[in-house]
Amino acid sequence: MNTNLGFGDRLAQAMKSSGQLCVGIDPHPGLLQQWGLEDTPAALATFSEKILDAARGRVAAVKPQVALFERHGSEGFKVLEEVLAEARQLNILMIADAKRGDIGSTMSAYADTWLGERSPLSTDSVTLSPYLGFESLRPALDLAQQHDKGTFVLALTSNPEGKTIQHVGQTNSVAKQIIEAATEENSRQGFETMGSCGLVVGATVGEALRELEIDLSQFNGPILAPGYGAQGASAASLFATFHGSESQILVNSSRGILRHGPCVEALIDSIELANSDLLKSNS
């Protein structure tokens, strides 16, 4: 993989070579228990290592859920640092699912944490919340471009509460304005295949896309789509939802894959089955 390319182009390469699946690293207490692990930092490390072992060369990216490490305090963050470093060694693209959003110097600090080259938590990309205004994310957007990294901005999510903000304005909705701003951001930057400012759009929001008259086929970056498998979206319905932008969809699966652990071979089988399902539905 050419590391001199921007994040979007590197992700496009990974999706072409390894498929469009992103596996979550989500050490929920209940899932740790299901795996026969205690709810401790040491167990988080074991859990994460098994997922990375199964994911290597088989997925486009992995997505650690930051809050589930953060709840263990400094020891949890230390494990997350090690997970990010190991994924980097394995040449697996990473998305830190931190959903950060703030203003001014505080946003700059968040940007440095996740996208700065000297930070022990530095990763390939990070999820961001734009609800203090899209331009409040400017420190992260600029730092990502500077270091060939990426961002995924929350745009249209599947949780029922999301519509109280995201749907406001209907055909000129908040969600639509965020998508348009991200499109403009990518247009300002150079890229070969797709831009590095991505979106988070739930895999089950097809009806909302129609109601809000949002056309994602005009978007020029990656779209992280959580909700495949355990959360209700089939591969066929997912690609129907994102008709016109199929090649840009990074399909996230967490519980659907992780419930097959702790056996690495079973995790691999689950990943390969999901990859086959996605490929068949997008061919």
Catalytically annotated residues: 99
For the four alpha carbons of 195, 10, 282 and 264, in that order, the dihedral sign comes to: negative
Give SS3 for 63: strand
- Which strand (E) or helix (H) includes residue 18? helix 7-18
* Lookup: tokens for 127: 């999820």
> Cα–Cα distance between 129 and 190 in angstroms, integer?
24
> Cα–Cα distance between 72 and 80 in angstroms, integer?
10
Chain CA centroid to CA 247, Å: 15
Q: Which amino acid is at 237?
A: S
Location of structure tokens 């495949």: 228
